[in-house]
Amino acid sequence: MVPRPMNPKTTDLYRQLSDQVSVSSITHWLKEMIAIPSENPMESDARPGHREQEIGEYYLQQMHELGLTVTSREAAPGRPNVFGARAGKKDRPSLMLCGHLDTVPTEGYDDPYTPHEKNGRVYGRGSCDMKAALACYLEVARLLRDADVTLSGSLILCGVADEEWQMIGSREIGRNGPFADQCIIGEPSDLSVCPAHKGQFGLFIRTFGKAVHSSIPEQGENAIERMARVVNALSDYNEELASRDPHPLCGHGTYSPGVIRGGDLASAVPDYCELEIDRRVLPSDETEQVRQDIAARLDPLRQDDPGFRYELSEPSWDIPANDLPVESPVVQSLLSASAELTGHPESARSFPGATDAPHLKTPAVVCGPGSLSQAHSIDEFVEIEQCVRATKMYLRAVTDLVA
């Protein structure tokens, strides 16, 4: 699809603001944020260096200094969602620029919180995932403030807790707001415009047996051997998924066995085994159908083994898919901006991973600086040129949609 042409009424404003994008401002904010540890505590307790509170306070202060009306709300103790709003002449239309405050852990990463710049890149934990986009949002706010732009609608900046684990931050926003007409999430997409992504559904399959001493295995029932039959029964599940109708951007759903645990010691026949699976679901998929798919493959195993018993757990992961129409104004604006900035047409794509988007209850597209190949790595970086281009793309959306 060819993106719609830029709105001529806002083109002059966009050009004026775009020419004023400051590399020094963006890199300054980015380096300061990298230097603030905001490592997700995952399953541990939130504590300094393993939570979002300190970077949330920093982001609130920066938004306040840029003239935004700021608020904060805890998704969990020490783990705030933070917001900054630039009001327009009317509340609507509204656009949200959203990004998560947390980073993944830093085990094995040498000096992750000392940002440095080299060969046009900024290095450090969180540089691309996703403090770069957060810095770009601040630059958008700075440009609007310095040019004293009066918006016709409202602009909301949003820093979210806990994207890297259970997404409690975006789930809280989905319950309590703020909500917007459209949203950009600056996850590292190499600036591809991604209005859709698969969801992530996980669960545990458990098999059971009878424990006896391993010297008399014939008197027991081996739960690991039963799990081996489970793995085999699901071995061609991906072939079945590939035969179904694809999503125009996301393609086909996938299945992957991820973690297996069973037994306590080699001298005992194990009476319990569990397998955690990962199922990437399409926007059209229903999670109950996933459970039915699995049951349909496992129920026949009872024919050869009358004692075979399995259990499907409650979801270990349940992140919905995202599916914003390509025709949406925010998608078209970003595609148009990308085409102008790169000199070649840009098509909408699917984002490979799951994001906060479906929990926000606001129509959202993913588009941000940095590459997923750098996210979560032990040498994380973002290209400064991509940060500049991202800022200009976000400015295009702001001027098209709410100026």
Which residue numbers are catalytic?
A: 102, 163
Give the SS3 label for residue 339: helix
Decide: 197 and 349 in contact? Cβ < 8 Å: no
Phi-psi region of 270 (alpha: psi -120 to 50; beta: other; left: phi over 0): beta
Decide: 362 and 160 in contact? Cβ < 8 Å: no
Candidates 401, 393, 400; CA nearest to 18 is 393
In the numeric block, the tokens 């009317």 are attached to: 90
User: How many Cβ atoms are within 10 Å of 366's Cβ, its own excluded?
Assistant: 29
Q: How far is CA 91 from CA 98, 154, 186, in A?
A: 18, 5, 23
Q: Which two tokens stand for residue 350?
A: 């699917």
Pairing state between β 69-76 and 116-118: unpaired
Candidates 295, 314, 17, 291; CA nearest to 140 is 17
| DSSP 8-state assignment for residue 108 | T
